[in-house]
Amino acid sequence: MNAAATLCESLPSERRWTGESDATAVLSQLPAAPAVYLLMDSAGSAIQLATTQHLRSAVTARLCPAATDATAPSAGGGSGRRAELASVVRAVRWREVGGAFEARWRYFRACRDAWPRRYRELLPFAPAAFLQQVRGRGVPEIRVSERVYADDGAFVGPWGTAGEAQRALEGLQDLFELCRYPAEVRRAPGGRRCAYADMGRCDAPCDGSAPLERYAARVAAAWRFVRGEQEEAARLVQDQMARAAAELRFEDAGVLKRQADFIRRWQRDTAPRVHAADDWSLWFATRVARRQAWTMYLFDRGELRVHGPIAAKRLAAEAVTWIPVVLRDCDESAARAEPVLRMEQAWLVAQWLGGSAAERSIVLQLPGRSVPADASEQIAARWASLQRSAEGSVAEPVIESIAESEDAGSVTTADPPEASPPGESESPA
């Protein structure tokens, strides 16, 4: 089955035409709405998959530049490229979307379905990083991993990049005296000592100088810290720092002060934005372009559901009734869920949460995978705050959302080699 046939369900709407002269009339009937769309040739083969904030203008600009209004958003590309597309494209399939996030998600799912061997090359988002607790030969270890929900073990995150997660791990290694070379610990008691042991910053469980049980207890304490129990570590470091200062061990006190600073930064900056993956659940809503409406989403341990559009005045009430229904559905479908898909959807949500679009949306954490008692009040308060921000700014949040969707569509295009016009191939930025 070719890519276009695979996408019939995910892109349900279609228009066809027989020649270049017929295209303008057909394209003028396309909706003026954000969408994910696929251009096809007369045989139904895929030519290009893209997102846009304005379907009619984008497709018309690509295929009939002379008919494009001078003030309409431009889809980009040179006249030669547009001419070649116009000579081969004879159909367009699409699905309207509620905004930039839904566009990226639908685009991702379409790429995944149509080109399963190469879809990762086409995605508009990168892997997110997590801390993972694993056991190798009975020895616990904390490492950086992107394979949340796809691999065994416990995960906490997300961090935006592997570098950020690695710096967090290095802080834990300093605070809890964890081994920087876990492969050597797995060889205990035949592992090799490292410079940290020689400096007195590690008790060397790798070569049997310290029992593995004591090292395992430190790893367990570090993981409790990662999962939210920072008070015990903060209290211990403060006591040790006071004792070192009283005994005039100023070098040790300086090391302990750096550890105390790390704990404070973690509590202030990291703890509010990372979650245990087995309890990571949230609801969020984004504005629908050009309408007083919202699209709402529920992310639950890698599963993602979408619902909308919903009138702004009904958003809070619908959310508190929709969330429990979707959580039950996620429970029922958990056994059938594809681990790699859950991982990739976690990456997508992590990138969105770390971007500016989340600041213009409504986000509700669902601790314990349940609806907070004051959910309606939280949603209403956030909506009112966004309204006040819109009234005080030149560019309203909904306009910013449209611009972001346009940006996504201008770079996330894919031309499968077997379906590209002669001599042309377009790839994602």
Tens-place pLDDT, residues 229-239: 999 999 999 99
Q: Let me know if residue 428 belongs to a domain.
A: no
> Is 412 within 8 Å of 107 (Cβ atoms)?
yes
Considering the domain architecture, whether residues 209 and 303 belong to the same structural domain is answered as no
Q: Does residue 398 lie in a domain region?
A: yes
For every residue of 212-268, DSSP letters joined together read HHHHHHHHHHHHHHHTT--HHHHHHHHHHHHHHHHTT-HHHHHHHHHHHHHHHHIII
- Residue from 272, 269, 275 nearest 167 by CA: 269
In a domain, residue 425? The reply is no
In a domain, 429, yes or no: no
Q: Kindly state whether residues 264 and 306 are assigned to the same domain.
A: no
Domain-located, residue 291 = yes
145 and 116 co-located in one domain? no
Of 214, 249, 273, which residue is a domain's last? Answer: 273
Amino acid of residue 338: E
Strand, helix or coil for residue 304: strand
Number of domains observed in the structure of the chain: 3
> Do 253 and 133 share a structural domain?
yes
Residue whose token pair is 């276009």? 4
Same domain? For 300 and 260 the reply is no
Same domain, 209 and 242: yes
Shared-domain flag, residues 86 and 182? no
3-state helix, strand, coil in the chain (%, to 5): 50, 15, 30
Same domain, 239 and 295: no
- Residue 406's pLDDT is what? 38
pLDDT in tens, 320-359: 999 999 999 999 987 788 999 999 999 999 999 998 888 8
DSSP single-letter state for residue 156 = E
Q: Which pLDDT does position 421 carry in this prediction? A: 29
Domain of residue 268: give its range. Answer: 129-273
Whether 97 maps to a domain, the answer reads yes
Q: Collect the ranges in the chain with pLDDT lower than 50.
A: 68-77, 394-429
96-147 tens-digit pLDDT: 999 889 999 999 999 999 999 999 988 888 999 999 999 766 788 999 999 9
Q: What is the pLDDT of residue 80?
A: 56
Both 135 and 115 in one domain: the answer is: no
Within this chain, do residues 49 and 174 fall inside the same structural domain, yes or no?
no
Helix, strand or coil, per DSSP, at residue 143? strand
